[in-house]
Amino acid sequence: MKPSLAKGTRDFTAQEVSRRKYIINILQNNFELFGFQPLETPSFENLSTLTGKYGEEGDRLIFKILNSGEYASKVNQEDWDNKNHQKLISQISDKALRYDLTVPFARFVAMNHGKLTFPYKRYQIQPVWRADRPQKGRFREFYQCDADVVGSESLLQEVDLVQLYLKSFSDLKIPVTIHMNNRKILSGLAEYAGITDKLIEFTVALDKLDKIGKEGVVKELLEREISQESIDKLEFLFNQSDDALENLLQLKEKFADSEIGLKGVEELEFVLTQSLNLGVDMQNLVFNITLARGLDYYTGAIFEVKADEVAMGSIGGGGRYDNLTEVFGVKNIPGIGISFGLDRVYLVMEELNLFPEEATTQVEYLFANFGVEGTVEALKLIMQLRQKGISAELYPENAKLNKQFTYAEKKGIKNLVFVGEEEIKNGTVTFKDLTIGEQKTLSLEEFLNL
């Protein structure tokens, strides 16, 4: 059998694991600095928990898990013959791998709301799965790093999450732009164009502007039975100025008869103004009126983060979802959250060569193996180094020195240490710095206190 990977998955080498941990540690530190507490949820949920939360396209990408046992024997033959897919799915699968971390979080809040202190702030760093078509920066198994606040309607939460994004990407040294919009503005646009009954179809098509361009969006809107007259009223969407506040002013005029649209403008204006008052550079914030983030559960602010110097999709995103726990029978728990795409952040940092040397785990010392007597003394020194938090290992076989050198170089070990007959007799250690080729002999005390 020829070994292979499932499409859209990857193995991670030691260097890749270390670099991913470097990113995660920075994010985790910032999450906790901003008052978020950790949470973990199961890798799979009841299928009913996940379906209906991500829109039509999202639901199709959920990885369903076949029921254990003789599940096929329980299939209704009539449903099979008629290819009634929805009924067939309910008969053979009642669980699924989580699609994101937000819906499982909402389920957790609904189950535990009586025990939580609100506003409740949690962060979560775990893998998710989507049956998507793999491409650069898009995988079927990937990590999300989420920070959410539930139990508060205050727009100061949006302002705080903007700060969290900017600080985290600044610490990672990635120049970014945060694209912002508000779901209420999109509802206002639908009212303005007379397509309120087509809001979901409108936002799903609009969200694809970056991928398929204006012509593609218009074509899709027509295919979704949105009239040319309504599309013509929305023509201004594709010709926005670079001044966010000026664009919001233009919307106020168009939303004169739309209460929800004006509310969205007011909310976004507050977040932008407060962020600027806190010293955020306006160049880092963009009011993107076509940003829709095609998830049905967003109700207010929506965010998308893009790297300035790398051509890639979003490396972060999120928004407000004030009704999500209602589907689990718990009302009046508003929420807002953001997510960092670990895998895309990694690719951006790799392309821009932003990983510092310390982001790669390396063994500091390799002790050469000269046989039984030298091995015992070497192991004693290795134990003392490890107690001081210094990584060290002994080459396991008494092999030719050239082979041990090659092992150290290939593994990226910085120093090769010799504890031979002469060193044991004199109470010294000889080591060679393989990065510069310099060799030194020191006393045991001097070596252990380097």
Q: With the CA atoms of 333, 163, 260 and 103 taken in that order, what torsion angle do they form, in degrees rounded to the nearest 10?
A: -40
Which residues, other chains included, contact 29 with Cβ-Cβ below 8 Å and sequence gap of 6+? none
Instruction: Classify residue 186 by its DSSP letter.
Output: H
Distance CA 174, CA 426 (A): 52
pLDDT band at 125 (very low <50, low <70, confident <90, very high): very high
Distance CA 65, CA 76 (A): 19
**pLDDT confidence of residue 426:** 93
Element (H, E) at 43: none
Q: In this structure, what token pair is assigned to residue 389?
A: 């938090």
pLDDT band at 5 (very low <50, low <70, confident <90, very high): very high
- Closest by CA to 95, choosing from 51, 41, 55, is 51
Q: In this structure, what token pair is assigned to residue 34?
A: 């901003």
- Closest by CA to 366, choosing from 382, 387, 388, is 382
What is the pLDDT averaged over residues 221-240?
A: 84
Alpha helix positions (H), 151-283:
156-171, 183-193, 199-206, 209-223, 228-233, 244-254, 259-277
pLDDT band at 223 (very low <50, low <70, confident <90, very high): confident
Using DSSP, state whether 376 is helix, strand or coil.
helix
pLDDT band at 123 (very low <50, low <70, confident <90, very high): very high
**pLDDT confidence of residue 89:** 64
Distance CA 25, CA 30 (A): 9
Distance CA 415, CA 437 (A): 9
Q: Which residues does residue 439 pair with via DSSP β-bridges, in sequence order?
A: 432
**pLDDT confidence of residue 74:** 60
Domains in the chain with CATH codes: 14-351 (3.30.930.10), 362-448 (3.40.50.800)
The answer, yes or no, to whether residue 397 has pLDDT greater than 90, is yes
Using DSSP, state whether 258 is helix, strand or coil.
coil
pLDDT tens for each residue of 363-390: 999 999 988 778 999 999 999 999 999 9
- The residue written with tokens 């929805």 in the block is 86
SS (H, E, C) 86-142: HHHHHHHCCEEECCCCHHHHHHHHHHHCCCCCCCEEEEEEEEEECCCCCECCECCEE
CB-side neighbour CA atoms (13 Å) of 419? 24
**pLDDT confidence of residue 182:** 95
pLDDT tens for each residue of 128-182: 999 988 887 688 999 999 999 999 999 999 999 999 999 999 999 999 999 999 9
pLDDT band at 265 (very low <50, low <70, confident <90, very high): very high
Distance CA 220, CA 216 (A): 6
Percent of the chain with pLDDT over 70: 94
Q: Are 268 and 182 in contact (CB under 8 A)?
A: yes
pTM of full prediction above 0.75: yes
The pair phi, psi for residue 96, each rounded to 5°, is: -155, 150
Distance CA 294, CA 196 (A): 16
Q: Which residues does residue 287 pair with via DSSP β-bridges, in sequence order?
A: 180
pLDDT band at 75 (very low <50, low <70, confident <90, very high): low
Least confident of 43-52, 57-66, 254-263: 57-66
The sheet with strand 428-433 has its strands ordered as: 392-394, 365-367, 415-418, 428-433, 438-443
Which residues, other chains included, contact 91 with Cβ-Cβ below 8 Å and sequence gap of 6+? 71, 74, 75, 76, 79
What is the pLDDT averaged over residues 27-52?
A: 96
Percent of the chain with pLDDT over 90: 61
In Å, how far from its chain's centre is CA 31?
13
**pLDDT confidence of residue 76:** 56
Residues constituting the chain: 450
Distance CA 61, CA 64 (A): 9
Instruction: Compute the mean pLDDT over every residue in the chain, rounded to the nearest whole number.
Output: 89
CB-side neighbour CA atoms (13 Å) of 138? 11
**pLDDT confidence of residue 77:** 55
Residue that wins the pLDDT comparison between 186 and 90: 186
pLDDT tens for each residue of 290-348: 888 755 678 999 999 999 999 888 999 999 988 878 889 999 999 999 999 999 999 99
| Burial of 117 from C-beta contacts in 10 A (0-12 / 13-18 / 19+) | exposed
Q: In this structure, what token pair is assigned to residue 448?
A: 């252990």
In Å, how far from its chain's centre is CA 141?
11
**pLDDT confidence of residue 213:** 83
**pLDDT confidence of residue 62:** 93
Report how many helices (DSSP H) and strands (DSSP E) the chain contains, helices first: 18, 16
Q: Are 282 and 244 in contact (CB under 8 A)?
A: yes
Q: Which residues are annotated as a binding site?
A: 100-102, 130, 144, 148, 293, 297-298
**pLDDT confidence of residue 88:** 60
Which residues, other chains included, contact 166 with Cβ-Cβ below 8 Å and sequence gap of 6+? 176, 178, 280, 284
Q: Which residues are annotated as a binding site for L-histidine?
A: 100-102, 130, 144, 148, 293, 297-298
376-408: b (≥16 Cβ within 10 Å) or e? ebbeebbeebeeeeeebbbbeeeeeeeebbebb
> Angle, to 10 degrees, between the axis of helix 183-193 and the axis of helix 259-277?
150
Distance CA 415, CA 392 (A): 10
